[in-house]
């Protein structure tokens, strides 16, 4: 059962074509990776899904054409975007940030339960629950951003470069938690990542973008074995 | 007016919220203080107009007028982060609606309702167009309001009295109340202004206030959580306009005269200055802004009437340098100074955010420095 | 978030309470500040046996600071000079010095009203302040409080209407007076004239046109061939000038208050080779600032009106009034430069007119002052041009309602008796 389907999606910033016909498909409970170098169009693909850029082609979520919708409308359908750069609210505490994530929800009890779940998922946040977000480390802020997205009880998470700027051990912690989240919650995911090795710990399938096109698509296992991937992203 | 600090934050330091554990907060949390202080304030405000001189009453009433105007500006600018340079237009519009309604001898309750509704609708229409534009475009559109408003008020002389303006003396103290007019006017300002402040306080603390803060902090994040930045900007602007209209009504209660000069562009800038000086994104800051707007010209007049502009400019710079967060941050600045001097310079100082607006600025900016560190 | 609000709330309560206490402390006790209940015949506030205090609220900063500063300087200089001579003799036989308390209102009606409120308990009368909205803002309050608002600088007729404004009297001519003076001159001409009218679409322009039309009513030699208006906010009147030029008028009555537009209008007419006689209001007829840049010498005649001697004019360099005035302005008026605005001269005349009223005032009360103020007839104040005078007995007219028409001579103005 397909949850998200992109068909020949194009996008441009002014005269510059950044997506030149991207197609992909994510099943219910599935996790899909988008790999590629800087400027290949990975982030733009996520922004296209979340409604932040105008696109050509078709984007279908849960049987509904969502291309042309506003970001807040897309979000209301249950697609939570964890943007690159995290964007947490520095003057709010960790707990307040989590509550912000649950802004559209009304089930007080469920919110409290989900906060507990997030803190269990990211024990680091538990220790900093009363700190202002601006006082968190980069890794903690990334965890907070993911946790905030979880708080909206999404059907699908869009994760953008969750490892960016983090020490390798921290990045691994973050991805461990994301894998556990996937296993326990069944939330579908689209994961954009430069570090293919990390991505493969979470996703089932992936595509490699180059200058706005899919050049290679396959399962994690297939891709891991390929020379191109090894050379380009695994430092092999 | 997003004003998050760009200082890189120590990643291992103590939590920033160490203030919660200070003795001051436990003092505040005692029920006597929590209920006693507002009650004391209420009684004080109820008695005050009776014991003060006419001139003090008048000053306090004018402070109330402009505190409400600044409060409206704070809703759209301090809390939602949208630059508005047109707030005085809505004060002027409210004043004109009041003056016209009174001149037509309409029921005063109806006049008040119209004074809220007409500026709110005007604000809504402007916002529907302007909020689409985003960024500085909103500021440019709002600049146009007083610039268009003044000649419009001169031209529509059938409604506005042209450049000679309109008087409306409609707030004499009721017969038998035993009150002087200035006392009655101050009571009106305190009650109406108090209700507006209370409602706004609940608004910005509640669900809408959180949405405003999220939009101010990061529009993309707001969208990604299902909050339409457009819708909330329009909402904030409309509420600000409505509050501006109420301040116009109060203006007529106190000043009892309006003319095109009332909404001249310069006053819009002065309101903005008052908001920043008082404290952006703060309820109490709005009151302090009103105090600044009204009291400073009186003080500079008392010092030397031929140097008012110079003295006001100097005062403005002085406050901004010493207290970038506005007058409302004075107690915290003092506390911080005391803590620092008592604790020495041992522990890392909490990150100093010039404004303590909820959600002003995002932590993303801080991680920028870190990211470069790893690159 | 809650924590922030909690602390701020407490701070706010403290701040407001502190403010309130301060205000109460400053205010003193009881209802001492409230006016209006004084016993009959008892001295009014602001006057003792030795001195009387006058209040002024006027723009001392902002766009109108230039003329505003003059409104304070002239009257301060006048009474400074008189005080140095020992003071002024009042109608009740006492000799008093006159003190001035002036406050800046930045041309903001709200601030003007606040200034009035803070002055009214200490001053005997308010005077000389500049501006229509800034004087209107507290007109009603002054009536209610019984505080004189005497000899103020606005052409708004409401201040000269005794029924509407019992405690007020305007000093300078109302707009109608100026238009009327030119209309009379024109009506007295032996030739036939076709007049084009261009006026500002507000009470300023309407006042001028109304006065002009009332003066030419019934004159067979004057025909108004075309009448156009413009908005005070317009950036050009080229279209109007072009249309008026084709009307064949030999006189243009131009009721305009905007300096750059006036210059542009003069230039546009020359471009079109249209050279009528011009009439310009007193505030847009400055030789240096408007007529020279506008190339006004190209027209057969440019007319305006005045009632004060221009101290800068060579004709008055040796004039006794002017010499005394300039010296006092420098010594007592805190105004060392030659005055750039006629308001300095007007304010000086206000001082002289007030002295007249003080001399007739039999009781040290505001009522007695207003009575004396309204009893002045044909007083030729210092600096006044011949054929102009202060007359306060005519209802509906300001203290100075007579102006003389003057004609531009390439440098300054000469008074003219007839239209040639």
Indicate the burial class of C257 (C-beta count within 10 angstroms; 0-12, 13-18, 19 or more). middle
Q: Can you tell me the mean pLDDT for B256-277?
A: 91
Q: How far is CA B45 from CA A182, B191, B341, C193, in A?
A: 58, 10, 37, 69
Residues in B closer than 8 angstroms to A162, CB to CB, are none
Is A128 within 8 Å of B4 when comparing Cβ atoms? Answer: no
Length of chain C: 420
Structure-token pair, residue A80: 């939570």
For chain C, domain boundaries: 51-172+317-401, 176-306
CB-closest option in B11, B210, B375 to A100: B210
Q: Please give the angle made by the CA atoms of C353, C354 and C360, to the nearest 5 degrees.
A: 100
Tell me the C-alpha distance between B49 and B186, whole Å. 7
Task: Assess whether the region C51-172+317-401 and the region C176-306 belong to the same CATH fold.
Answer: yes
**A154 close to B (CB below 8 A):** no
CB-closest option in C15, C62, C232 to B284: C15
Quote the percentage of chain B above a pLDDT of 90: 39
Closest CA to C327 of C90, C84, C56, C66: C84
Close Cβ partners of B147 (under 8 Å, ≥ 6 residues apart): B265
Q: Which residue has the higher pLDDT, C141 or C22?
A: C141
Identify the three-state secondary structure at position A136: coil
Close Cβ partners of A117 (under 8 Å, ≥ 6 residues apart): A150
| pLDDT tens, residue by residue, A49-93 | 998 888 888 999 999 999 889 888 999 899 998 887 767 777 788
Q: Can you tell me the mean pLDDT for B223-248?
A: 92
Mutation target for C interface from B217, B248, B257: give the one with most C CBs within 10 A.
B257
Closest CA to C73 of A53, A42, B306: B306
| Nearest 10 degrees: Cα torsion A28, A31, A32, A36 | 160
| Nearest 10 degrees: Cα torsion A121, A122, A125, A126 | 50
Closest CA to B370 of A170, A130, A39: A170
Could you tell me the sign of the dihedral formed by the alpha carbons of A107, A109, A112, A117, in that order?
negative
CB-closest option in A72, A89, A137 to B11: A137
Residue C136: other Cβ atoms inside 10 A: 26
pLDDT number for residue C28: 40
Residues in B closer than 8 angstroms to C11, CB to CB, are 284, 328, 331
pLDDT band at C43 (very low <50, low <70, confident <90, very high): confident
Chains near C, with 3+ CB pairs < 8 A? Answer: B
| pLDDT tens, residue by residue, C353-371 | 999 999 999 999 999 999 9
| pLDDT tens, residue by residue, A1-36 | 799 999 999 998 888 888 998 999 999 999 999 998
Tell me the C-alpha distance between C337 and C324, whole Å. 15
pLDDT number for residue A164: 86
**Class of C51-172+317-401 per CATH?**
alpha beta
Is B15 within 8 Å of A131 when comparing Cβ atoms? Answer: yes
DSSP code for B351? P
Pairing verdict, β C125-127 and C149-152: parallel
- Contact yes or no for A154/A80 (Cβ under 8 A): yes
Q: Can you tell me the mean pLDDT for C212-224?
A: 92
Close Cβ partners of C127 (under 8 Å, ≥ 6 residues apart): C54, C55, C56, C75, C148, C149, C150, C151, C152, C350, C354
Average model confidence (pLDDT) across chain B:
81
Indicate the burial class of A29 (C-beta count within 10 angstroms; 0-12, 13-18, 19 or more). middle
Q: Can you tell me the mean pLDDT for C242-260?
A: 91
Phi, psi of A122 (to 5 degrees): -120, 85
CB-closest option in A100, A130, A138 to B17: A130
Buried b (16+ CB within 10 A) or exposed e, B326-340: bbbbbbbeeeeeeee
Domains of chain A listed by start with CATH number: 2-78+154-233 (3.40.50.300), 89-152 (no CATH)
- Contact yes or no for B117/B235 (Cβ under 8 A): no
Residue of B nearest to A80 (CA): B224
CATH topology of domain C176-306: Rossmann fold (3.40.50)
Residues in B closer than 8 angstroms to A129, CB to CB, are none
**B304 close to C (CB below 8 A):** no
Tell me the C-alpha distance between C339 and C331, whole Å. 14
Residue C384: other Cβ atoms inside 10 A: 22
| pLDDT tens, residue by residue, A166-196 | 899 999 999 999 999 999 988 999 999 888 8
Q: Can you tell me the mean pLDDT for C113-142?
A: 93
Is A165 within 8 Å of B370 when comparing Cβ atoms? Answer: yes
| Nearest 10 degrees: Cα torsion C380, C383, C384, C385 | 130
- Contact yes or no for B260/B160 (Cβ under 8 A): yes
- Contact yes or no for B229/A51 (Cβ under 8 A): no
Average model confidence (pLDDT) across chain A:
87
Residues in B closer than 8 angstroms to A75, CB to CB, are 223-226
DSSP string, B174-225: PTTS---HHHHHHHHHHHHHHHHHHHHHHHHHSHHHHHHHHHHH-HHHHHHT
Closest CA to A34 of A9, A67, A68, A15: A9
Q: Please give the angle made by the CA atoms of C133, C137 and C142, to the nearest 5 degrees.
A: 130
Closest CA to B308 of C368, C267, C61, C214: C61
Identify the three-state secondary structure at position A206: strand
pLDDT band at C88 (very low <50, low <70, confident <90, very high): very high
For chain B, domain boundaries: 53-308
| pLDDT tens, residue by residue, C228-242 | 999 877 789 999 999
pLDDT number for residue C41: 64
Tell me the C-alpha distance between A51 and A65, whole Å. 12
Ranking B138-147, B234-243, C108-117, C270-279 by mean pLDDT, the lowest is B138-147
pLDDT number for residue B248: 96
Identify the three-state secondary structure at position A6: strand
């Amino acid at each position: 059962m397909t949850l998200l389907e992109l068909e020949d999606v194009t996008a441009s910033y002014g005269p510059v074509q950044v997506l030149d016909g991207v197609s992909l498909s994510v099943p219910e409970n599935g996790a899909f990776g988008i790999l590629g170098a800087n400027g290949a169009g990975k982030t733009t693909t996520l922004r296209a899904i979340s409604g932040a850029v105008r696109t050509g082609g078709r984007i279908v979520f849960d049987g509904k054409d969502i291309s042309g919708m506003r970001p807040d409308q897309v979000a209301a359908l249950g697609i939570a975007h964890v943007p690159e750069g995290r964007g947490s609210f520095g003057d709010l505490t960790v707990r307040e940030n989590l509550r912000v994530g649950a802004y559209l929800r009304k089930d007080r009890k469920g919110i409290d339960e989900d906060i507990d779940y997030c803190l269990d998922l990211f024990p680091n946040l538990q220790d900093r629950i009363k700190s202002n977000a601006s006082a968190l480390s980069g890794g903690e802020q990334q965890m907070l951003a993911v946790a905030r997205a979880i708080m909206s009880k999404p059907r699908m998470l869009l994760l953008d470069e969750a490892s960016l700027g983090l020490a390798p051990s921290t990045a691994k912690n973050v991805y461990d938690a994301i894998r556990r989240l996937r296993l326990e919650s069944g939330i579908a995911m689209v994961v954009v990542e430069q570090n293919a090795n990390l991505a493969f710990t979470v996703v089932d399938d992936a595509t490699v973008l180059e200058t706005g096109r899919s050049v290679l698509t396959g399962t994690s296992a297939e891709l891991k074995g390929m020379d191109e991937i090894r050379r380009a992203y695994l430092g092999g | 007016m997003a004003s998050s600090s760009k200082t890189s934050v120590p990643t291992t330091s103590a939590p920033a919220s160490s203030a919660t554990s200070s003795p001051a907060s436990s003092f505040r949390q005692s029920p006597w203080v929590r209920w006693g202080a507002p009650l004391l304030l209420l009684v004080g405000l109820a008695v005050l107009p009776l014991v003060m001189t006419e001139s003090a009453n008048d000053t306090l009433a004018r402070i109330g007028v402009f505190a409400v105007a600044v409060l409206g500006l704070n809703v759209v600018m301090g809390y939602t982060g949208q630059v508005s340079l047109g707030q005085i237009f809505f004060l002027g519009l409210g004043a004109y609606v009041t003056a016209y309604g009174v001149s037509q001898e309409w029921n005063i309750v109806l006049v008040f309702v119209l004074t809220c509704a007409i500026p709110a609708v005007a604000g809504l229409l402007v916002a529907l167009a302007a909020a689409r534009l985003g960024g500085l475009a909103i500021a440019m559109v709002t600049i146009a309001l007083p610039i268009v408003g003044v000649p419009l008020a001169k031209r529509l002389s059938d409604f506005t009295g042209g450049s000679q303006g309109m008087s409306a003396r409609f707030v004499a103290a009721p017969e038998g109340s035993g009150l002087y007019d200035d006392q009655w006017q101050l009571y009106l300002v305190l009650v109406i202004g108090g209700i507006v402040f209370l409602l706004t306080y609940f608004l910005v603390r509640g669900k809408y206030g959180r949405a405003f803060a999220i939009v101010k902090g990061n529009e993309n994040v707001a969208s990604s959580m299902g909050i339409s930045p457009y819708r909330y900007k329009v909402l904030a602007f409309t509420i600000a306009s409505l509050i501006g209209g109420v301040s116009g009504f109060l203006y007529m209660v106190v000043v009892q005269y309006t003319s095109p000069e009332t909404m001249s562009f310069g006053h819009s800038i002065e309101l903005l200055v008052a908001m920043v000086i008082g404290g952006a994104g703060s309820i109490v800051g709005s009151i302090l802004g009103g105090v600044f707007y009204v009291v400073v010209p009186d003080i500079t007049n008392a010092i030397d009437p031929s140097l008012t502009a110079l003295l006001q400019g100097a005062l403005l710079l002085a406050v901004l340098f010493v207290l970038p967060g506005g007058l409302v941050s004075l107690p915290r600045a003092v506390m911080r100074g005391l803590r620092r001097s008592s604790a020495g310079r041992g522990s890392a100082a909490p990150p100093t955010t010039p404004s303590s607006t909820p959600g002003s600025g995002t932590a993303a900016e801080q991680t920028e420095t870190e990211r470069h560190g790893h690159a | 978030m809650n924590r922030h609000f909690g602390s701020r709330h407490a701070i706010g309560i403290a701040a407001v309470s502190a403010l309130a206490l301060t205000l109460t402390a400053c205010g003193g006790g009881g209802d001492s500040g409230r006016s209006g209940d004084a016993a009959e015949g008892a001295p009014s506030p602001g006057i003792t046996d030795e001195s009387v205090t006058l209040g002024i609220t006027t723009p001392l900063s902002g766009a109108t600071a230039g003329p505003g500063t003059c409104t304070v300087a002239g009257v301060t200089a006048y009474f400074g000079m008189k005080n140095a001579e020992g003071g002024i003799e009042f109608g009740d036989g006492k000799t008093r010095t006159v003190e001035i308390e002036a406050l800046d209102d930045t041309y903001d009606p709200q601030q003007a009203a606040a200034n009035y409120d803070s002055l009214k308990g200490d001053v005997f009368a308010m005077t000389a302040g500049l501006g229509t909205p800034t004087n209107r803002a507290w007109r009603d309050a002054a009536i209610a409080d019984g505080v004189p608002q005497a000899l103020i600088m606005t052409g708004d007729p409401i201040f000269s209407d005794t029924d509407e404004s019992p405690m007020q009297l305007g000093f300078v001519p109302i707009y109608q007076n100026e238009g009327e003076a030119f209309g009379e001159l024109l009506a007295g001409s032996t030739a036939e004239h076709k007049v084009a009218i261009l006026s500002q679409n507000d009470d300023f322009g309407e006042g001028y046109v109304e006065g002009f039309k009332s003066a030419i009513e019934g004159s067979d030699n004057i025909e108004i061939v075309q009448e156009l208006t413009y908005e005070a906010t317009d950036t050009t009147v080229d279209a109007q000038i072009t249309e008026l030029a084709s009307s064949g008028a030999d006189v243009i009555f131009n009721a305009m208050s905007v300096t750059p537009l006036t210059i542009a209008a003069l230039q546009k007419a020359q471009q079109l080779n249209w050279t009528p006689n011009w009439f310009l209001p007193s505030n847009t007829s400055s030789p240096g600032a408007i007529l020279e840049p506008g190339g006004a010498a190209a027209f057969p005649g440019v007319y305006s009106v005045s009632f004060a001697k221009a101290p800068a004019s060579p004709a008055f360099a040796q004039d006794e009034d002017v010499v005394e005035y300039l010296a006092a302005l420098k010594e007592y008026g805190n105004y060392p430069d030659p005055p750039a605005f006629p308001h300095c001269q007007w304010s000086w005349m206000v001082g002289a007119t007030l002295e007249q009223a003080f001399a007739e005032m039999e009781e040290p009360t505001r009522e007695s002052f207003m009575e004396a103020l309204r009893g002045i007839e044909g007083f030729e104040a210092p600096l006044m041009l011949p054929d102009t005078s202060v007359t306060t007995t005519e209802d509906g007219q300001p203290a100075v309602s007579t102006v003389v028409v003057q004609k531009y001579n390439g440098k300054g103005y000469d008074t003219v008796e007839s239209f040639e």
